[in-house]
Copies of this chain bind each other. A is one copy, B any other.
Amino acid sequence: MKLIIAIIKPFKLEEIREALIKIGVQGLVVTESKGFGRQSGHTEIYRGAEYEVTFVPKLKLEMVIPDSLVDPVSEAIATTAKTGRIGDGKIFVLPVDSAMRIRTGETGEEAL
């Protein structure tokens, strides 16, 4: 089992969710975050003073999936999240030791 962490542009959420469902992802959790990266934010002027908005709104998607899905999921996210413009985001894959569904107590891939 792997944990996929994907940082995406917020307006891509719905499209990605639909793409993931198609390839069998059964659940995920989304968190609103702010990202800092090459996409360097922008300079704003507020009441005559310049300031840099360094953090850009992003969504963080987290989902635990069976090893077999790592490639299709990465691919699906990469395809749908891509706009080709700076700030499209990242996909990270982390190892997971175990998973449990609280409602049933199921563990392992059953739990996903």
Chain A residues within CB distance 8 Å of chain B: 2-3, 5-8, 17, 26-38, 54-55, 58, 60, 62, 64, 74, 77-78, 81-103, 105, 111-112
Q: B34 to A27, Cβ gap below 8 A?
A: no
Evaluate whether A91 and B102 lie within 8 angstroms (CB atoms) in the complex, with A27-B36, A30-B34, A36-B27 already known.
yes
Q: B99 to A91, Cβ gap below 8 A?
A: yes
Give how many copies assemble into the complex: 3
Q: B95 to A100, Cβ gap below 8 A?
A: no
Q: A38 to B27, Cβ gap below 8 A?
A: yes
Instruction: Report which residue of A29, A30, A95 has the largest number of chain B beta carbons within 10 angstroms of its beta carbon.
Output: A29
Closest-CB distance, A5 to chain B (whole angstroms): 8
Q: B96 to A96, Cβ gap below 8 A?
A: no
Q: A35 to B28, Cβ gap below 8 A?
A: yes
Closest-CB distance, A100 to chain B (whole angstroms): 4
Q: B102 to A82, Cβ gap below 8 A?
A: yes
Q: B38 to A29, Cβ gap below 8 A?
A: no
